[in-house]
Amino acid sequence: MMVSSPLHRHNVKPNLRKIKSNDSIHSPSQKANKKIGHRTGIKLSSFKPAKIIAFTVVAAFLGFVYLTHVFATQKLLGQVHQLQKKYEQTQQVHDDLKLRYDRMIGPVNIYRKARELGFINAGPADQILEVR
């Protein structure tokens, strides 16, 4: 409230705050809600308990689905590691058998079998071939 003397009435600035008649009815908390709603663009009175409960249920459901997905992914990753280990063991057995097979059909065995069948070893090629 401004108090002015009668002598300086012409120097008094006008009151820029306009008072509405319905502002006196609202409580201070409703004024605070209006200020917050004015800043954020939403009214706090628009949040009904049913909406909050529904939002909470939806958020809980999405969290449950996410956690289920994470645990299922970890289980599948464990299975993938098991299969990789089994594959590597099988690959090692395959390589061992292939080496054994290669030794069985290698040149030493072929020469031995040829001698058993009566073939004669010609020896190294000592002759030099000249091409004109």
Burial of 12-47, coded b for 16+ CB within 10 Å and e otherwise, reads eeeeeeeeeeeeeeeeeeeeeeeeeeeeeeeeeeee
User: What pLDDT shows up at residue 97?
Assistant: 96
Report the domain count for the chain: 1
Residue 91 lies in a domain: yes
How far apart (Å, rounded) are the C-alpha atoms in residues 33 and 41?
A: 11
Structure tokens at 47: 């949040």
Q: What is the pLDDT along the chain (132 residues), one digit of tens a residue?
A: 566 566 655 666 777 777 666 555 555 555 555 555 555 666 666 778 899 999 999 999 999 999 999 999 999 999 999 999 999 999 999 999 999 998 888 888 888 888 899 988 777 766 777 788
User: What pLDDT shows up at residue 92?
Assistant: 97
How far apart (Å, rounded) are the C-alpha atoms in residues 78 and 72?
A: 10
User: What pLDDT shows up at residue 64?
Assistant: 98
Residue 98 lies in a domain: yes
Residue 124 lies in a domain: no
User: What pLDDT shows up at residue 26?
Assistant: 52
pTM for the full predicted model: 0.44
Residue 129 lies in a domain: no
Q: To which H or E segment does residue 43 belong?
A: none
Residue 54 lies in a domain: yes
Handedness of CA 80, 83, 87, 93 (dihedral sign): positive
Residue 13 lies in a domain: no
Residue 5 lies in a domain: no
Range of the domain at 47: 28-117
